Structure 1
């Protein structure tokens, strides 16, 4: 039974990793207002040029469409760019966006839930997503990569113990 449970956790963790990897070049936009007869690609390219001072070509956008939203207001937009260079260029300047438009990495629901749990944990100072992984930095400065099945408190204590043992020359 324990072996089956371990394999199940491993399979779900790998599935989450693969789903996250498939979103590697995606950017999620919220509050992106356009006209009724919207051409999202053209609107996005113009916004990026005007707000971020980046000149992108039509070919830099692989796909773009609105997501279904159950909340009132403007539905979010998902943008898939051609490569990591384009995504990095956009994300580095994302704070320059105007009209309350926000840009985010497109992360899986499981990773989003993990981030939320980390942000509410008493020992975590900062939690963030970067390059396919979820990180937490403790209040005492220890940086840890977390998995979706980690017990956050146990993992922090484990990493602290490991860190102390390394400092003492123990293996």
Structure 2
């Protein structure tokens, strides 16, 4: 009986040793996988950091490119005027119609030599197409735009406006919808605004942080 018990105990011990060895091997494998997993996490974190840095660089580059593009686009428009509400005539000469309108509506004398180009451009469906007028220089444009209010107040619904880039137009809308801004406008190629707490005008660019810029004044 003692011999059988000893044999049984020996087998149990052998099984326990094998189990311990197996457990040890498994733990070694788990530890190895854990280390590999941690190394992969560190590599992924580093890759994500690099990707975020690259995205930031790309975003900054795109912003710089858009600012430059907007800058380059707005200057050829400095001598442009958009005329809204001028009735369109069959086979009209836009330059002649503009000269006539400005004289009749606001007593502005404009001659052919002061006009570089004048033509209709696409407008909103069902409305009169605007005229894009390009004049010789900013002095001529100022002479016309000084009569903007006079022309706007006419019953015929005429209106003069600057030829603003899409990005500057979006900026003006963003400013006018901001709680700290009382009014925003376009002048001589740039966008300006007046805050609700100050009479000073502030010049804005397309990616300016409005709140920060107003509060820094």
TM-score scaled by length of structure 1: 0.87
* Partner secondary structure for residue 63 of structure 2: helix
Query: In the alignment, which residue of structure 2 is the partner of 1:100?
Result: 157
Aligned: 1:124 with 2:181: yes
> 3-state DSSP class of the match of 1:47?
helix
Distance 2:166 2:91 in 1: 31
Flag the structure with higher strand content. 1
Distance 1:107 1:116 in 2: 12
How many residue pairs align between the two structures?
159
Displacement over 3 Å in runs of 4+? none
Match of 1:26 in 2: 80
Q: CA RMSD in A?
A: 1.4
Higher relative contact order (CA 8 A, sep 6+): 1
Work out which of the two has the higher radius of gyration on C-alpha atoms and give 1 or 2. 2
1:68 match: secondary structure: coil
Q: State how 1:58-77 maps to structure 2 within 5 Å.
A: 58-77=112-131
Higher helix share: 2
Name the residue aligned to 1:110: 167
Deviation at 1:15, TM superposition (A): 0.6
Q: Which runs of 5 or more residues in structure 1 are unaligned?
A: 161-171
Cα offset for 1:37?
2.1
Residues 1:87 and 2:144 are matched in the alignment: no
Structure 1 Cα separation of the partners of residues 125 and 204 of structure 2: 30
| CA distance in 2 between partners of 1:54 and 1:68 (Å) | 26
The alpha-carbon deviation at position 4 of structure 1 amounts to: 3.4
Residue of structure 1 equivalent to 2:65: 11
